[in-house]
Chains A and B, each alone.
Chain A
């Protein structure tokens, strides 16, 4: 099975900073990658699918890129409400594995 990794596992940044999270698949998954945000104590929320397509209602400061094995999630200007854990998920075929998550907080 394809393994998913994320880096860093956690980061701390200032409000307004540009933040980048990386997700890597152990084999190519084309662009079948989704990104989720889970705020503390809340249910996960889909941010992007197809690696770079923003889900309806998600702020435009979130963006995604990549194809094959390497993907990035970028927050162009970090806001206090973005404090959360971010997960990637592959869905080219089952199992639809999640990455281990990246914790983002405010410095």
Chain B
């Protein structure tokens, strides 16, 4: 059974940093592209970042480019999102999502999410 478990969310002050993790199991993690998608309270889905199966290709939304860094450790079956210079508008539930098939990015399976609140 595919499982994605996000962690690392919490309350942080504007300008602060957080690192989110997504522990994966139940599939060959190193074969799949992965994504981070966020959803602000009461709002729609916003794609944040993605990276290829090897981690060699990374992609970012303009809203987070230069502040967030996506990475993965295939030996630990874990996806990360390092978030720096956080702003109030980064407040959201952050989901990790596994590509629906090898070589494809759209999220075929999603974790339950972790809440990030940026506030003083």
Q: Which residues of A contact B (CB under 8 A)?
A: 1, 34, 36, 38, 43-46, 49, 55, 85, 87, 89, 91, 94-101
Contacts and interface: CB of A to CB of B under 8 A. Distances in A.
Contacts of A94: 50, 59-60
Contacts of B61: 95
B1 interface: no
Interface stretch (B12-20, B84-92, B101-109): B101-109
Contact of B44 (A46, A49, A96, A98): A98
B112 A91 contact: no
B35 interface: yes
Across chains A and B, which 5 residue pairs bring their CB atoms closest together, nearest first?
A94-B59, A34-B106, A101-B44, A98-B45, A43-B110
Contacts, number: 61
B35 A96 contact: yes
Given A36-B107, A44-B37, A98-B46, 15 more contacts: A38-B45, A45-B110, A46-B100, A49-B104, A87-B44, A87-B45, A89-B47, A89-B106, A91-B104, A91-B106, A94-B50, A94-B60, A96-B47, A98-B44, A100-B44
Interface in B56-99: 59-62, 95, 97
B45 A36 contact: yes
Given A91-B105, A91-B106, A101-B44, A55 B100 contact: yes
Given A96-B35, A96-B106, A44 B47 contact: no
A91 B111 CA distance: 20
B59 A43 contact: no
B82 to A, nearest CB: 18
A89 B24 CA distance: 23
Nearest to A95: B61
B106 A44 contact: no
Nearest to A99: B44
